[in-house]
Amino acid sequence: MAQAAGGALASACAHAGALGLLGGGYGELSWLQTQHALALHLLSSEATALKRLGCGFITWKMDVDASTLDWLLDQPHTPAALMLSFGDPRPYAARIAKRGVPLICQIQRLEQLPQCLEAGAAVIVAQGAEAGGHGMQGLQGRATFSLVPELADALAGQSPSTLLLAAGGIADGRGLAAALMLGADGVLMGTRLWASAESLASSGAVAAALQAHGDDTVRSSVFDVLRRKNWPPEFDFRALRNRLHREWELRMDELRQAPEAARADYEAGVAVQDFDRAHVTVGEAVGLLRDAPSAAVLIARITQQAEALIG
């Protein structure tokens, strides 16, 4: 999770027994250097947990500049895994494999599977459209509940040793148990861990999220245009559907042609943490959030709940 999963959250997940992924996102080198150093520091006396620290990157942004990925691969610490999402992972597979790092590929459609298997992915993340943040736009997006078993069947036939994680809408033990029943080997959670004590999300954004229901989120490109993020057209972004979003969501052409006034409104909202204007990046699972405790508490609670349900 770009800008949310820094060293504190990634190391807390690793410490709690999960895989902790730094949100390398768009490849901002100084941010990653700081957060990577923090994670190494927080895990300095925990050799086993250190082996559970990895990082994620936005693939299409690596096509523009992969120097952050190269920097990470040059560090003495070998990442537990590297996740690539939103683009073709094949150009980066050889350098990741050369370092002996397992590759995780997050995909949104069955048709993206072959290029990930060609890239040698050790793990596929099946991301449904319920997910917070970026994902496949409405015309092509798939729901987690059918994407996961379809990919599980495809992997059973084509690459049985490749692990499958479900992502999108999973925020409690019911979701974890359901994902396992659907054929996943585990889950990747964003929204749930975004609202945790170690997340870099602002307290105001988390407070707004804790008041929201799943009905209150929406997928669109509104916030990408407002934030000057040039995402490829096949992807859009799920966040809370706030006042500024409603104002522009049916006028996308107009927004793209003349974004200045809306951007000024958005940036003023960000400056004063006014979440009627600033974005709050959460998925439909926001309706399942009641609190924002530490990642360790969340992971233990979700695991225990899933174990009880499965038992």
Q: Which residues bind ligand FMN (CB under 6 A)?
A: 1-2, 4, 23, 25, 56, 58, 85, 106, 127, 130-134, 167-170, 188-192, 194, 281-283, 285
Nearer to ligand FMN, 46 or 186 (CB): 186
Cβ contacts of residue 85 below 8 Å, gap of 6+?
A: 56, 57, 58, 59, 105, 106, 125, 127, 134
Cβ contacts of residue 90 below 8 Å, gap of 6+?
A: 115, 118, 119
Nearer to ligand FMN among residue 155 and residue 170 (C-beta): 170
- Minimum Å distance from CB 89 to ligand FMN? 12
**Closer to ligand FMN by Cβ: residue 117 or 200:** 200
Query: Residue 167 or 178: which CB sits closer to ligand FMN?
Result: 167
Please, which residue, 162 or 191, has the CB nearer to ligand FMN? Answer: 191
Q: How far is the CB of 167 from ligand FMN (least distance, A)?
A: 4
State the minimum distance, in angstroms, from the CB of residue 58 to ligand FMN: 5
Q: Shortest Cβ distance from residue 238 to ligand FMN (Å)? A: 8
143, 191, 187, 146: which is closest to 167 by C-alpha? Answer: 187
**From the CB of residue 293, how many other CB atoms can be counted at a distance below 10 Å?**
14
Q: Give the C-alpha separation, 287 to 284, whole Å.
A: 6
Number of Cβ within a 10 Å radius of residue 256: 11
Please, which residue, 46 or 214, has the CB nearer to ligand FMN? 214
Cβ 202 to ligand FMN shortest distance, Å? 11
Question: Least distance to ligand FMN from the beta carbon of 257, Å?
Answer: 28
Which residues, in sequence order, are CB contacts of 260 under 8 Å at separation 6+? none
CB 283 within 8 A of CB 141: no
Closest-CB residue for ligand FMN?
A: 190
Contact 108, 137 (CB under 8 A): no
Beta strands across the sheet bearing 217-220: 133-136, 235-240, 217-220
Residue closer to ligand FMN by CB (options 131, 240) is 131
Minimum distance from residue 124 beta carbon to ligand FMN (Å): 12
Dihedral class, residue 290 (left if φ above 0, else alpha if ψ from -120 to 50, else beta): alpha
Q: What is the sign of the dihedral through the CA atoms of 169, 174, 178 and 181?
A: positive
